[in-house]
Chain A
Amino acid sequence: MASTDAPSTTPGSTGVDGPTRARIGARTLREDRWWLAPLATFIVFSGFVVFATYRAFAGDYFYAEPYLSPFFSPCLTADCVAGSSDFGQPLSWWSLSPALVVLIFPLGFRMTCYYYRKAYYRGFWLSPPACAVAEPHGAYSGETRFPLILQNLHRWFWYAAVVIALILTWDTVLAFGPAPGEPDGIHMGLGTLLMVANVVLIWLYTLGCHSCRHITGGRLRHFSKHPVRYRIWTLVSRLNNRHGTYAWYSLFSVAIVDFYVYLLATGAFDDPRFF
């Protein structure tokens, strides 16, 4: 009988090398490319974090009339350029980048999102890196202790995310306004299209949230007594089925719109205007 080398199992060790488990000796016997998904997650998320952090802290080139970057909306501080503060500047005492005031809400929403949690627990914390692949950590307490118990605040961030999505919707309405040199009225450019696509994806992501699904109807014991909420729950459930997809798409769209506004604001690109 040919065999693999069974490792010695130290008493008290836990996990797949534990003393009562089958002594197989490999972290996993999976032969597929299980490492690809967590690696892709790690690279893409890291890229987004680097890009968003740079843009948020740089605090400039975020407005090119009529487009306001979603990273900086609502723009509430004294550093907001003319035309970008649709809701005034109540935080005029704030001296850092205006993005830092608002980004905490979408950031908190996504950091506590049930889909993103799966993605970054796998991709960044390797807990586990993939199904049936042993994780490298010696101890594990899940989301029972600080700081991870704060994941339970997801619903708070969802409330804020709905407000942010409403504000981004208003920004998108304003994106149909005139660019410099154009007469008053309804206009449209490539930036308008990008902002419409972005806000649609943001809504699909926000309304497909597991907390939204719970609040609208999931918390009920009797669907039969709440037919309207049950109907809403079925619609939200349909979005929720693709929550991970919308999480990715909306992540890309928000970065693309910000980068597009950056290109326009720096003069590196001229917005093609349709009418």
Chain B
Amino acid sequence: MGYTLKMRIWRGDQGGGDLGDYDVEVSEGEVVLDAIHRVQATQAGDLAVRWNCKAGKCGSCSAEVNGRPRLMCMTRLSDFDPAETVTVTPMRSFPVIRDLVTDVSFNYEKARELPSFAPPPRDADGKRRMAQVDVERGQEFRKCIECFLCQDTCHVIRDHEDNKPAFAGPRFFLRYAELDMHPLDTHDRRALAQGAAGLGMCNITKCCTEVCPEGIRITDNAIIPMKERVVDRKYDPLVWLGSKIGLRNRDNDGRSEA
């Protein structure tokens, strides 16, 4: 059963822009991206919007719906009252290109700053081995679809553009954690996470976790464990004392600082 949805969509570029009003016919079961496409098809052929899979797996259609960072393809219209006006804007942490499309290249620059996985030499039979329980640990982190909604909502860069050079953001803390927990990685990434990636800038207010469309517990399972690993290295009195008397965690043997 269809109805007329009232929408406000931000149109513009870096020179300026406005929230434009659109009335669009929508049907039961549709999502915000369907409505955007119908506006594009029937009323605003030049509306710029980035999208691809329409299944919540490509991470392309990130935007802000009624002020909340969301994937447009995973935001059901049935979540809103039919009389409600649905406002769609581009992500507000990144430079806008046009309309709903932003320049997310900040994230690719940060990805390049992160040393890649560095496995040890292969076993004698040419294989590398990991126990299943260690494989499973990293699976949560590998669900990331790089929609960058966590980066968008992170106030460290959303509200402070000047922090961008010094802060990698939650998506990349996830990657740091994944690699630092990886039994085969030979890099010790703790100093890098604290220094170049700016882990200490995060004040763990958990917005990244709240907006993650994959439900990854970014703060609890990646950022806080990385902070604790940094504490191991620099701030724990018992770890320090243990190292002085020859007691130390041998789990990091074979690793060198990245």
Contact = CB atoms under 8 A, between A and B. Distances in A.
A118 B92 contact: no
B200 A149 contact: yes
Given A21-B92, A23-B16, A152-B235, A128 B220 contact: no
Given A22-B12, A117-B204, A140-B160, A222 B183 contact: yes
A214 B233 CA distance: 13
Interface stretch (B30-38, B50-58, B110-118, B222-230): B222-230
Interface string B218-251: 0010001101111110111110000000000101
30 contacts: A1-B21, A3-B20, A14-B161, A15-B161, A20-B95, A20-B161, A22-B92, A31-B67, A114-B224, A128-B155, A128-B159, A131-B68, A131-B69, A131-B153, A132-B69, A134-B159, A139-B160, A140-B155, A142-B198, A143-B203, A144-B201, A152-B235, A153-B235, A156-B236, A218-B225, A221-B182, A221-B251, A221-B252, A222-B183, A224-B183
A104 to B, nearest CB: 17
A223 interface: yes
Contact of B131 (A18, A134, A143, A223): A223
Q: Closest 4 interchain pairs by CB?
A: A224-B131, A3-B18, A29-B67, A30-B67
A266 to B, nearest CB: 41
B19 A155 contact: no
B16 A135 contact: no
B17 interface: yes
Contacts of A22: 10, 12, 17, 89-90, 92, 96, 102
B194 to A, nearest CB: 9
Contact of B68 (A16, A132, A222): A132
Contacts of A135: 155, 159
Interface residues of A, number: 63
Contacts of A149: 200
A272 B197 CA distance: 58
A14 B10 contact: no
A222 to B, nearest CB: 5
Nearest to A148: B203
B40 interface: no
Contacts of B155: 127-128, 134-135, 140
Contacts of A127: 155, 203, 205
A159 B230 CA distance: 18
Contacts of B137: 223
B250 to A, nearest CB: 10
B181 A221 contact: yes
Nearest to A3: B18
Contacts of B12: 6, 22-23
Interface in A35-68: none
B68 A142 contact: no
A53 B164 CA distance: 40
Interface in B131-180: 131-134, 137, 153, 155-156, 158-163, 180
